[in-house]
Amino acid sequence: MAQPIMVACDLHDKSMLLKIAQGSDKPVKRSVLNTRTARTQLIADLQAMSQAKDGAPIVFAYEASGLGFGLYDELTEAGIQCFVLAPTRIVRSPQQARQKTDEKDADQILELLRGHLLAGNRLPTVWIPDPQTRDDREIVRARLDAVDKASSLKTQIKCLLKRTHVPRPEGLGQGWTRLFYAWLRGICSDPARGIGLRSALESLLRQLEFMETEIERLDGAIALLAESARYAPVVAEVAKLPGVGLLTAMVFLTEMGDLRRFDNRRQLAAFIGLAPCAFESGNSHDRKGHITRQGPSRVRRVLCQAVWPRLRYDGPEKEAYERIVTKNPKKKKIAVVAGMRRLAVRMWHKGKAAQEELKRTAAPPGPAE
C-alpha cells in the first residue's frame, strides 16, 4: 500500500499555509485562500494527487481555533481523514515561542503527523462534537456570556458611584434589589446631580436592563432545549443531584458531549482540568501541584457554583468538605476543588447511564427470529 499523503495546515481566517509530503519526502509548500471555492479546489487537487500516487490515503491535520470545525466537516465529507490538534498540548520550546511563523507552525504539525503515521506516536487531538452538539452549545455559551456582560455593567455602575462620591444608603443593603434600582433611577432624574453622572448612569442602566432581558430570553431557549428528546431524560437524571440546576446540567452536557467516551473518572477529571499536576525527577516521586485547569473552563465554573449549595443541603458532601478543611484550614480551595471533582464524577455516572438508556431505546429493533 502506498504511503499516506500528509497535509499539515496552519489555518487562518483568510488563508491557509500547507506543507504536503508523502512518507519521509521533503514537504512542498502551498498557500491557499480560506474560501469555499479555494477549499473545494484544494480537496479536488489532493484527490487527484492521491490517484496519481496509486490511491495513497490523504491525512490532513490542523490546529483547533475560533474558526470551528467547518474545514474538518468538508474534508471528512470528501473522504479525507482529518485530525484537529489541541494547541495547548503541542510542546514548544521557548525559542519556538519567540520565533513563531506560519511556516514553522506548519512544519511542526507535519512532524507530529509523521510521527503518528510512521512511528505510531500519539497525536494531541481534540474531541470533535457532532454538529447538533456544536449548535446546542451556542445557546448555553451565549447565556453565560450575557451574565458576564451584566456583571461587568454592575461593576461599572459601582465604580461610577465611587468616582463621583455618591455613597450607597445604608438601608438598601448590599444586593441589587428593586429598592436599589429605584434609588439609581432617582439619581438619573435628580437635577442636583451633575449631567455627566446622570447621563453615564442612565446609559449603564439601559444596557443592564437590556442584558437582563436577554438573560431571561436565553433562559427560555435553554429550557426548551432541555425539554427536547435529545436532553430531557439526561437532564432529569443529572438534576436529581443536590445543587445541580437546569443551567448547570445543560452546560455540563453540551460542553462534555458524549459522556460514554470516558472510561473512568480519571479521564473525566483530566478532561475538565480538575486533575493535579505531577512533578517527578530523580528521587522525587509523586509530587502533586495545582490542578491543570485544562479543558472547558465553563464546566469548572458551573461546578464551582454548584458546590456551595451542596455544602448546605448535602450532609455527606458537607462532611467531606469539613474533613479536608480540618486537615488544612488555610487552603479551603482544595476542599472546594475536591467537591467539584466529586460532583463532576456523579454527574458523569448519572448522565452516562441516561445517555446509554436513550441510545438503547432509540436504536431500531433487531431482525425477528
Per-residue 3-state assignment (H helix, E strand, C coil) for 17-43 = EEEEEECCCCCEEEEEECCHHHHHHHH
Residue 279, SS3 per DSSP: strand
Residue 187 CA to its chain's centroid (Å): 41
The cell for 28 is 512542498
User: What is the pLDDT, as a whole number, of residue 1?
Assistant: 64
Please name the amino acid found at residue 355: Q
CA-CA distance, 106 to 125, in Å (whole number)?
16
Nearest-5° angle of CA 108, CA 111, CA 115?
Answer: 145
**Cβ atoms of 240 and 347 closer than 8 Å:** no
CA-CA distance, 268 to 262, in Å (whole number)?
6
Give how far Cα 273 sits from Cα of 105, 202, 301, Å: 26, 41, 11
User: What is the pLDDT, as a whole number, of residue 369?
Assistant: 40
Q: Taking the complete model, does pTM exceed 0.75, yes or no?
A: yes
CA-CA distance, 166 to 141, in Å (whole number)?
35
How far from each other are the two terminal CA atoms of the chain, in whole angstroms? 42
Count CB-CB contacts under 10 A for residue 113.
23
For cell 514553522, name the residue: 104
Residue 257, SS3 per DSSP: coil
**Cβ atoms of 318 and 298 closer than 8 Å:** no
CATH class as words, domain 5-119: alpha beta
Q: What's phi and psi for 11, nearest 5 deg?
A: -90, 135
53, burial (CB in 10 Å: exposed 0-12, middle 13-18, buried 19+): middle
User: What is the pLDDT, as a whole number, of residue 365?
Assistant: 56
**Cβ atoms of 16 and 34 closer than 8 Å:** yes
Q: Which residue blocks in the chain are alpha helix, DSSP H?
A: 36-52, 70-77, 94-98, 102-119, 131-163, 178-188, 195-226, 232-238, 246-256, 265-271, 297-313, 315-327, 332-362
Q: Helices 332-362 & 315-327, crossing angle to 10 degrees?
A: 140
Domain range list for the chain: 5-119, 131-226, 232-362
User: What is the pLDDT, as a whole number, of residue 20?
Assistant: 97
User: What is the pLDDT, as a whole number, of residue 47?
Assistant: 96
User: What is the pLDDT, as a whole number, of residue 91?
Assistant: 87
DSSP state of 80: -
For cell 443593603, name the residue: 173
CA-CA distance, 342 to 151, in Å (whole number)?
28
Polymer length in residues for the chain: 369
Count CB-CB contacts under 10 A for residue 135.
12
Q: What's phi and psi for 30, nearest 5 deg?
A: -150, 135
The cell for 270 is 483530566
**Cβ atoms of 305 and 323 closer than 8 Å:** no
Give how far Cα 348 sits from Cα of 225, 233, 345, 351, Å: 20, 14, 5, 5
Mean pLDDT by 10 residues, the chain (369 residues): 91 96 94 97 97 95 95 97 94 85 95 95 94 96 98 97 93 89 95 95 97 97 96 96 96 96 95 88 71 92 96 91 90 93 97 94 60
Give how far Cα 198 sits from Cα of 25, 144, 169, 348, Å: 69, 29, 18, 50
User: What is the pLDDT, as a whole number, of residue 133?
Assistant: 96
